[in-house]
Amino acid sequence: MITVGSYEAKTHLPALLEKVAKGEKILITRRGIPLAMLVPPPMESKRNVKQIVKEMLEFRDQNGPVLGKGLTIRQLIEEGRRF
């Protein structure tokens, strides 16, 4: 873990963020007292794009187009042209 002062963190933030993106943790201190820690975000499991599209299509098939009661796409287009 790298330790840097708050002033150094402020002036070198882009370089510190690059290190964090590579997996390092950085402790930020003020007068030797820990203030904050820069850590990489937790890794989210990447969902399969095909699975997401399948879920979206299933939702559409179950619910139909959801525009609102009595609305059509043409009405929404015309509404947008008024302004």
Q: Which pLDDT tens digit goes with each residue over 23-50?
A: 999 999 999 999 999 999 887 666 788 8
pLDDT exceeds 90 at position 16: yes
- 49-61 burial string, b = 16+ CB within 10 Å, else e? eeeeeeeeeeeee
**What are the structural domains of the chain?**
2-38 (3.40.1620), 49-81 (no CATH)
How many angstroms separate the Cα of 12 from the Cα of each of 51, 62, 65, 77? 41, 52, 50, 48
Q: Which pLDDT tens digit goes with each residue over 46-83?
A: 678 888 889 888 887 877 666 777 777 788 888 877 66
CB 16, CB 6: distance < 8 Å:
no
Written as one letter, the residue type at 27 is: L
